[in-house]
């Protein structure tokens, strides 16, 4: 009878502990999820100027590779209509002619290019979000 009580006690202790660790596990995974999702959020719109320029430069470098043939005025292959939208030869000012309506067009065109790394896509995404925010000021 005594050993039966002991077994019962051990059983309940195990149950309580596993239940507690379950609860702890759940809260940990929620915490992790929160951290991840906040990392995925766009940078705050009041991001400093250097953040904008850094991401703008990464974007320009990537677009020179993939879009330069038509969007670089110095190249013989350039298209005047494409230059009106943006000219990658304008150095840091390459994006000044871009309107908010053009921004989704950039996002769409880079989406399915495996040569563009996820880090570069992230930088372009940040640039587009900040550019959109700036244009609405
Ligand atoms: C073969 C030439 C060519 C290439 C390469 C090219 N473009 Fe263009 N692009 C044009 C022309 C011409 C226009 C203007 C006519 C039009 O609106 O389609 C244009 C317009 C655009 C527009 C404005 C219209 C819209 O959809 O919002 C965006 C944005 C754009 N291009 C982004 C890009 C990006 C990003 C790349 C590279 C991934 C790229 N283009 C590569 C020729 C090109």
Query: How many Å lie between the centroid of ligand 1 and the Cα of residue 30?
Result: 42
- For residue 7, the number of C-alpha atoms closer than 13 Å in the C-beta half-sphere is 4
CA of 105 to the centre of ligand 1 (A): 8
Q: Is the model's pLDDT at 70 over the cut of 50? A: yes
Maximum Cα–Cα distance across the chain:
95
Contact 59, 123 (CB under 8 A): yes
| 9-33 average pLDDT score | 51
Q: What is the pLDDT of residue 82?
A: 98
Is pLDDT above 70 for 23? no
Share of the chain above pLDDT 70, in %: 66
pLDDT at residue 35 in the model: 47
Which residue would you say has higher pLDDT here, 14 or 68? Answer: 68
Q: Which is nearest to 61 in space by CA: 25, 23, 89, 33?
A: 89
Q: Which of 29-33, 44-48, 58-62, 133-137 has the highest mean pLDDT?
A: 58-62
Residues having CB closer than 6 A to ligand 1 are 63, 66-67, 69-71, 79, 81-82, 85, 102, 105-106, 109-110
């Amino acid at each position: 009878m005594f050993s039966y009580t002991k077994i019962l006690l051990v059983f309940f202790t195990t149950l309580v502990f596993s239940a507690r660790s379950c609860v702890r596990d759940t809260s940990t995974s929620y915490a992790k999820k929160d951290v991840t999702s906040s990392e995925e959020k766009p940078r705050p719109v009041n991001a400093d100027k250097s953040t904008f320029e850094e991401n703008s430069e990464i974007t320009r470098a990537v677009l020179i590779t993939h879009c330069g043939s038509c969007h670089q005025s110095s190249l013989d292959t350039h298209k005047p209509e494409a230059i009106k939208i943006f000219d990658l030869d304008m150095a840091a000012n390459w994006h000044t002619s871009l309107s908010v309506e053009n921004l989704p067009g950039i996002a769409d065109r880079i989406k399915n290019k495996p040569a563009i790394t996820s880090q570069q896509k992230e930088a372009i995404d940040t640039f587009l979000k900040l550019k959109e925010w700036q244009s609405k000021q």
